[in-house]
Structure 1
């Protein structure tokens, strides 16, 4: 993949692109990087043009201050406009899913599919509580992935991680969800100790027509813990038939008034 750069409003977003077809944009989570999608890109790029982002302050874009949720959403929305991407599928993990909800709300004409993987948009608490849950979250996931998590966290630096954590806990997507018109798949790891599955079910229930899938024995980094199942779910969602819209209620027979009888 060829690494590219986009700048807007003083912030820089880095991205790689590979494959051909309708665009799929992968948005990593807190303290992460585009490398977290390495087990997913080959399967997705076989039938789609896949863009792997590094958010400002992280990955290849680490030499800058991390943006908050709103700022990151603005930057991604501007990037979509710059490339004139249409029929976009946004796939966001954790903080990336949180940001992706805002992008979908900002660009409903561009984003047609939304995949939220263990997204943080309804998470509440304090940065200290999140920090206390991190060791348990790591232990419920793929242990061999820990070196990548640690390397990306060190590269981002404690200030960026702290800023991002504080900001995401202040931002809620609750009010945006009922108005989302984007087809949405919510995917969760059944063993997620950072953002519990109950939050995933609540997220899906609040989005009209959203599909919820829970993967057994997977933790918070669900696309790494169970890549084959995750890839299959995403591809079936992206390439499968569009579900029928709910049928309109039949009108009452002629001459019969609606409502309760007197």
Structure 2
């Protein structure tokens, strides 16, 4: 589906953000993780775009926005926050995977007036450790997920390049969001793969416990790329969560709110 939608660009200084838009309704913004791209959401976009307007981002240095120096977690968050402002997006649902969830946590803290819902999928915001130890977990993380997805992971990592992947990894390991979590006001769903070997489920449970009112869901037999390993379950959880934000009359009533 993404391949049939023309990419758009957002420029801020030397940085170029690439994104696709599909569907109609309140906005959902999808943010991929480390060494990823917007293509990682291809099993999720159709289900979400049936009811929402979906924005699929390629972060600076990744996917269609490659051949740039990757921004750090906070730099990427500041750029996305500015992008939300310039597009005038309101009642936003941010959905971020791994490093993308880490970035979305910062965006939700910076733009609480714009971000209504936050979905964190195997987010790295509380991940700690030595970069070499994290690297050693990558092979196990790959084989505990959907094996047919491994070529896509390798292709996107190669496109981003080892320097960007290394820079992003060291940056996210040095950025802990513990202080932000109690101050988040967005409705929050935390979704984890029970077999995540890179960011273990105990991290997800700790993340959810620290966010006021957050809901935690763990998907059996899914690994780190949870939305790829179990797309039907992931999509159902997200849509159910968003439906819980609807008033009795649905989005038509919300459109008339002041």
> 67, 84, 92: which is aligned to 1:63?
67
Q: Distance in 2 between matches of 1:91 and 1:41?
A: 11
**TM-score normalised to structure 1 length:** 0.92
Question: Which residue in 1 is equivalent to 2:154?
Answer: 150
Task: Give the ranges of 4+ consecutive aligned residues of structure 1 lying more than 4 Å apart after TM superposition.
Answer: none
Question: Which residue in 1 is equivalent to 2:238?
Answer: 234
2:143 corresponds to 1:139? yes
Q: Deviations over 1:151-192 (max 9, x none)?
A: 000000000000000000000100000011110000000000
> 87, 90, 105: which is aligned to 1:86?
90
Q: Distance in 1 between matches of 2:24 and 2:67?
A: 30
Which has more radius of gyration? 1
> 27, 30, 33: which is aligned to 2:31?
27
Question: Which residue in 2 is equivalent to 1:72?
Answer: 76
Q: Distance in 2 between matches of 1:126 and 1:87?
A: 37
Q: CA deviation at 1:241?
A: 4.5
Q: How many residues align?
A: 243
Question: Which residue in 2 is equivalent to 1:17?
Answer: 21
Q: CA deviation at 1:126?
A: 1.6
2:113 corresponds to 1:126? no
2:202 corresponds to 1:205? no
- Unaligned ranges ≥5, structure 2: 248-258
Q: CA deviation at 1:236?
A: 0.5
Q: Distance in 2 between matches of 1:80 and 1:184?
A: 19
CA RMSD between the two structures? 1.0
**Equivalent residue runs for 1:206-221 within 5 Å:** 206-221=210-225
Question: Which residue in 2 is equivalent to 1:49?
Answer: 53
Question: Which residue in 1 is equivalent to 2:41?
Answer: 37
Question: Which residue in 1 is equivalent to 2:255?
Answer: none
2:187 corresponds to 1:183? yes
Q: CA deviation at 1:93?
A: 0.0
> 113, 117, 126: which is aligned to 1:113?
117
Structure 1 residue matching 2:137: 3-state secondary structure? helix
Q: Distance in 1 between matches of 2:48 and 2:245?
A: 17
**TM-score normalised to structure 2 length:** 0.93
Q: CA deviation at 1:242?
A: 6.4
> 150, 154, 164: which is aligned to 2:168?
164
